[in-house]
Amino acid sequence: MRNGTGRWKPGIRTVLAAATVLGLGATALSAFPAAAADESVAVRYRQGGAGSDQAAPWLTVVNTGTTTIPLNQVKLRYYFKSDRGASYSYACDWAVKGCTNLTGTFGALAGPTATTDRYLEVGFTEGAGTLAPGADTGDVQLRFHRTDWQPLDQSDDYSFGPAQTTYGNWTKVTATIGGVQVWGTAPGGAAPTPTPPTSTPTTPSPTAPTTPPAGRGVLFDDFDYTGHVDPAITAHGWTIRSGGGGPGVGQATWAPENVTFAKDGANSVMTLRTSTSGTGASTRQTEVHTAERKFKNGTYAARVRFADTPTSGPDGDHLVQSFFTINDLTAPMADDYAEYDFEYLPNGGWGETANVLYTTSWETFRPDPWEAVNQHTESRTSRAGWHDLVLTIDDTALVYYLDGKEFARHDARYLPERPMSIHFNQWLIDFAGQSSTAPRAYEEQVDYLLHVKDEVLTPAQVAAKVAAYRSNGTAFEDSVPSS
């Protein structure tokens, strides 16, 4: 563990623990304000193509009326034919309005048809704001799957449109405003049973932005510093670790002077150098982390260069090169612990004999006797070179991306309960991989760090946001409030 002095190996992958909801029959509801005559919307749909075990309805809502609509009065229903005895889980991958401002629940139709007996109902919270005439919500990229992850047969689903690969008006998804159907045709022509809005504001709330504006909820650092003693490092909230303590080999120390900064083309790059001569006392490890624990849900991204071989000396050490978030373990097996890792072992270790990249989501652990509760995904191939690492955390799942592609998806059981700090470090597990006393050194490099609070960004959106900062000449921003 990052905070411990001993070695660890990722535990056995635990069973699926995602949030689950079962289809329920519709019930009568109390009266609430209906849609006004000048309130109307259109629903546009495209098939997101999430694979054989997931449905991926992507939606956008357009205000086709003449008045501004509070989005928390809007409900959408996507209809499907369920499998006998199956339960389903909902997830939001990306939404311009923010996944935290969306709700997803499953319901059962009172009058099933050959193509429908259940529906996914999607709603908006007050945080989604309002929709002006002519405006749209932007992308709402959703998924749902069986909780046992068995394959889905969508061919008999009422709302499914496999040929709809671009957005277009879709009447097989219905929309209500204030419980009154204003768009689409429900299966069998029946009107959807109304469900109340989250609340009925007397004054429309402001439209939510697509991403947090400057001054709220973003940490970006291009690591443009003169050296490890540059006072801007501390001023920007970073700590370069010094002294002793785990993880790593006994008697090793953390060396601030081994953290350096230099230009690589137009970009500034931070280098973490770890050196050893085969003894604990000669081992100098490196770590850089945020001083505050104030990061929780949202998007974490960094461009990191892993190395398979040392910059000098003999190869083979059991080395860990990492990018991760973490908070403190308040007691053995405490359930509010959280840690989410990208860890590359270029020469193996923890029982591995060659290259391995781990992504690990931690629920908790006990140092002595060792017990771990985590979920991990690994890939046993060389990852030498630059890589774009992205982790997204919302209220449903943790998703790890490597170079723009999904690498791992971990369950809701492992979501954080408390804020965390952000870390980069490089350390030696042991000397079992290389027993030589010849000096050697390894380097991990970091191009940038980006965190966007409470927003799930795609890797492409991360790249665009970083490019925008650089084109504007912004090397640093921290508008994430203290927790």
Rg (CA), the chain: 25
Position 38 scores a pLDDT of 62
Confidence of residue 193 (pLDDT cuts 50, 70, 90): low
Lowest average pLDDT, out of 137-151, 238-252, 314-328, 419-433, goes to: 137-151
Position 350 scores a pLDDT of 93
Model confidence at 49: pLDDT above 80:
no
Confidence of residue 328 (pLDDT cuts 50, 70, 90): very high
Position 204 scores a pLDDT of 32
Position 189 scores a pLDDT of 63
**Which of 161 and 53 is assigned the larger pLDDT?**
161
Position 287 scores a pLDDT of 98
Angle at the Cα of 97 (from 95 to 101), degrees rounded to 5?
95
At 336, the amino acid letter reads D
Spell out the SS3 assignment of the chain: CCCCCCCCCCCCCCCCCCCCECCCECCCCCCCCCCCCCCCEEEEEEECCCCCCCECEEEEEEECCCCCEEHHHEEEEEEECCCCCCCEEEEEEEECCCHHHEEEEEEEEEEEECCEEEEEEEEECHHHCEECCCCECCCEEEEEEECCCCCCCHHHCCCCCCCCCCCEECCCEEEEECCEEEECCCHHHCCCCCCCCCCCCCCCCCCCCCCCCCCCCEEEECCCCCCCCCHHHHHCCEEECCECCCCCCCCCEECHHHEEEEEECCEEEEEEEEEECCCCCCCEEEEEEECCCCECCEEEEEEEEECCCCCECCCCCEEEEEEEEECCCCCCCCCCCCEEEEEEECCCECCECCCEEEEEEEEEEECCCCEEEEEEEEECCCCCEEEEEEEEECCCCEEEEECCEEEEEECHHHCCCCCEEEEEEEEEEECCCCCCCCCEEEEEEEEEEEEEECCCCCHHHHHHHHHHHHHCCCCEEECCCCC
Q: Which residues contact 189 (CB under 8 A, 6 or more apart)?
A: none
Model confidence at 271: pLDDT above 90:
yes
Model confidence at 113: pLDDT above 50:
yes
Position 152 scores a pLDDT of 86
Distances (CA, A) of 36 to 6, 239, 456: 65, 56, 33
Q: Which pLDDT tens digit goes with each residue over 429-483?
A: 999 999 999 999 999 999 999 999 999 999 999 999 999 999 989 999 999 999 8
Position 158 scores a pLDDT of 95
Confidence of residue 6 (pLDDT cuts 50, 70, 90): very low
Lowest average pLDDT, out of 155-164, 179-188, 204-213, goes to: 204-213
Give me the mean pLDDT over the 184-213 stretch.
Answer: 50
Beta bridge partners, 467, equal none
**Which of 213 and 354 is assigned the larger pLDDT?**
354
Cα 130 from Cα 219, distance rounded (Å): 27
At 423, the amino acid letter reads H
Average pLDDT score over the chain: 86
Lowest average pLDDT, out of 112-126, 180-194, 318-332, 375-389, goes to: 180-194
